[in-house]
Amino acid sequence: MNILTLGIESSCDDTSAAVLLNNKLLANVIANQKVHEKYGGVVPELASRAHQQNIIPVVDTAMKEAGIDKKDLNVIAYTRGPGLLGSLLIGSTFAKTMSLGLGLPLIEVDHLQAHILSHFIQKDDIVPDFPTFPFLCLLVSGGHTQIMQVNDYFEMKLIGKTIDDAAGEAFDKAAKILGLPYPGGPLVDKYGAMGDSKRFGFPKPQIKNLDFSFSGLKTSFLYFIRDHLKTDADFITSNLNDLCASMQFAIVGVLMHKIEKAINETGVNKIALAGGVSANSALRKALLDKGNQMGWKVYIPPFEFTTDNAAMIAITGYLKFEKGDYSTIEQSPYSNSKF
């Protein structure tokens, strides 16, 4: 039987709706919220207001792009958490109302699981090289940095996590120090591609297990810039590309070190990337090169599934639907990660 799933994502500052036919993508519409740019970070109250404005047009556009009517849908999936509560409330209330109105099954989805399961979306007629279990997943976003051992679709074990900032935050905070707008990660990537990554060196965190730390790196970057600005007011503008490349090199170095350690410790040499930072070109290249050299199987997600999107919510909803794991309207959103 063919299943049409509508996915709704509203956990942070992107309002997104997607339609899947089984595991195949028909539409994935994302409305980014520009309103946060000038504040240097997401302002929760503004995010919820923008979701409220965006949600109806985004869902409507996704269904039009998919060429379907709401009466054709079989199931509705939404992000229950983790995320900003005010943002989650908009998407979850909308999904619950729609499922009640249309008499459709409702499925709650964990945002982090969804980032990982985005690897099982089929984008076009070519069946991709789906990961085989078990595999490791480095989930790197603005809110999370963790390594999961994925033994099955819904059997995931957290084996390492950040003890302070997330990798995306490290990118965004470095960008902010350089005077770049939020979210700065993509800009650090863009300017870094034109710079010399060995020009400036930053200290590596000394964390023994599979956990990560980025706050020391951020602080040393801040002091480094502050000290240079004392003697050269143009230090940032005249070195922007090299500063971005060097900071990016340091962050990617931390991530690569832990990936290698996780593979050695678990004996699982299949590694997938997920989350917003997996769009980073230096990280993608470093992992592909290292994977080639070491004989690892590497899964790099298509760009549209790296940052927050509803296609990943829809695939997770579809996989849950297949195993009869439905939700009730009583389930309320949660802000903290359950992993």
Binding site for Zn ion (CB under 5 A): 141, 308
Binder of residue 307, out of ligand KG4, Zn ion, none (CB less than 5 to 8 A by kind): ligand KG4
Nearer to Zn ion, 110 or 308 (CB): 308
191 binds ligand KG4 (CB under 6 A): no
214 binds ligand KG4 (CB under 6 A): no
Nearer to ligand KG4, 256 or 329 (CB): 256
Pick from 108, 110, 189, 242: which binds ligand KG4 (CB under 6 A)? 189
Give the residue among 209, 204, 203 at the shortest CA–CA distance from 163: 209
Rounded to 10 deg, the angle between the 185-192 and 281-294 helix axes is 70
Nearer to ligand KG4, 73 or 287 (CB): 287
Nearer to ligand KG4, 4 or 176 (CB): 176
Binder of residue 195, out of ligand KG4, Zn ion, none (CB less than 5 to 8 A by kind): none
Nearer to Zn ion, 33 or 141 (CB): 141
Largest CA distance in the chain: 69
9 binds ligand KG4 (CB under 6 A): no
Nearer to Zn ion, 32 or 220 (CB): 32
CA distances from 163 to 93, 260, 266, 277, 300 (A): 32, 19, 21, 18, 25
- Residue 12: CB minimum distance to Zn ion, A: 7
279 binds ligand KG4 (CB under 6 A): yes
Pick from 276, 291, 301, 333: which binds ligand KG4 (CB under 6 A)? 276
Query: Do residues 104 and 34 make contact, with C-beta atoms less than 8 angstroms apart?
Result: no
177 binds ligand KG4 (CB under 6 A): no
Q: Quick one: CA torsion of 252, 257, 258, 263, rounded to 10 degrees?
A: 120
186: Cβ contacts below 8 Å, ≥ 6 apart: 279
Nearer to ligand KG4, 81 or 168 (CB): 168
103: Cβ contacts below 8 Å, ≥ 6 apart: none
Per the DSSP assignment, residues forming a β-bridge with 272 are: 137, 299
195 binds ligand KG4 (CB under 6 A): no
Binder of residue 279, out of ligand KG4, Zn ion, none (CB less than 5 to 8 A by kind): ligand KG4
Binder of residue 171, out of ligand KG4, Zn ion, none (CB less than 5 to 8 A by kind): ligand KG4
Rule CB under 6 A: which of 136-175 touch ligand KG4? Answer: 141-143, 168, 171-172
Pick from 15, 280, 316, 327: which binds ligand KG4 (CB under 6 A)? 280
- Residue 202: CB minimum distance to Zn ion, A: 26
Query: Do residues 116 and 156 make contact, with C-beta atoms less than 8 angstroms apart?
Result: yes
Binder of residue 277, out of Zn ion, ligand KG4, none (CB less than 5 to 8 A by kind): ligand KG4
* Residues near ligand KG4 (CB under 6 A): 12, 141-143, 168, 171-172, 183, 185-186, 189, 275-277, 279-280, 307-308
